[in-house]
Structure 1
């Protein structure tokens, strides 16, 4: 971002979107009375500018940890007692 702030072309800045959605799973209808949620998490991570490059084991471990931590934080935020 410093490059853009200093007047360079913003077309070369990799903005990597992240998002998540929490939707009802459709349960709880009928006699079962149980319901839950479906969590969808999306990441886009630039590991290497070469599109044919292979991911290293270290990159995969970092990515797996990122997903796990993000999901745990979302679960923790949803389970907070607001009453």
Structure 2
């Protein structure tokens, strides 16, 4: 039997490759809103991040989430994302 391939994604915070299931997905939906995607299947452009406060803070300070989603992000959206990440 062949081994099943495990999808790998890079965290925008720590820049480490990890399995897709370990990371959370942040999505820019087709209507332009930015949300946390728990299922990993919402339509739109996505960026992956570790479920830790440190990675999120690093990605926010260096504007890596904005670069990955090709859209500027407001402070209120960052706070909503931070709340979502810390709850998980």
TM-score category (smaller protein)? under 0.3
| TM-score, length-scaled by structure 2 | 0.27
Higher RCO, 1 vs 2 (CA within 8 Å, ≥6 residues apart): 2
| TM-score, length-scaled by structure 1 | 0.28
Larger radius of gyration: 1
